[in-house]
Structure 1
Amino acid sequence: MTLSPEQKRARLAELLREKNRQPQRAPTSFAQERMWLQERLATSSATLHVPVAVRLSGQLDEEALRRALHELVLRHEPLRTTFVEQDGRPFQLIAPVLEPSL
């Protein structure tokens, strides 16, 4: 069966969308691997945690805040990145989409 150019373009677009929906696995940087090792050695330590508190005043438009957070997370891969261990080594797992919750 031979596909027309339009069918080929549609199939390629479908494959690209499917690829972008799957998490991407990437190696960690030296600094990320060092932090991962520190966390493994001292699991109860909060040394790497950086707490932040923000006080908002006035009326809050929750939907606007939700959309803004969604766009921020969509734009910056580190906010969608988790770390998995495979064969004793850490890897970054970058989610294509992540919905932040309020």
Structure 2
Amino acid sequence: MVFVDPDLWAQGIGRQLLDAVSGLAADRGHQLLQLWPGQGNQRARRLYEGAGFRPSGRRQQLGGENVIHLVRPLQAEGLYGVRIFGGSSAARPVHRA
């Protein structure tokens, strides 16, 4: 599990973490990201859905809490390819040294 300290919310840290994980997963050849946020955690769901995650329709109980399954496809183009981030259709090049 990954958490952002509530004192640091609304600074873009959650989105930066999602983008970093997305890039690493795509570089390793994964084609899909999956999350199980609490069904009532609207703040997290807004973040995830704003980053392109969509409900798969699956739900379950985890540790006594109702959770919902969210998924987001990844486009892997290699280390220096073009990758689509977030819910936007705009692509941006990825350059790493």
TM-score by length of 2: 0.29
Give the structure with the higher percent strand: 2
Using CA pairs below 8 Å that are at least 6 residues apart, which structure has the higher relative contact order?
Answer: 1
- Per residue, is there more helix in 1 or in 2? 1
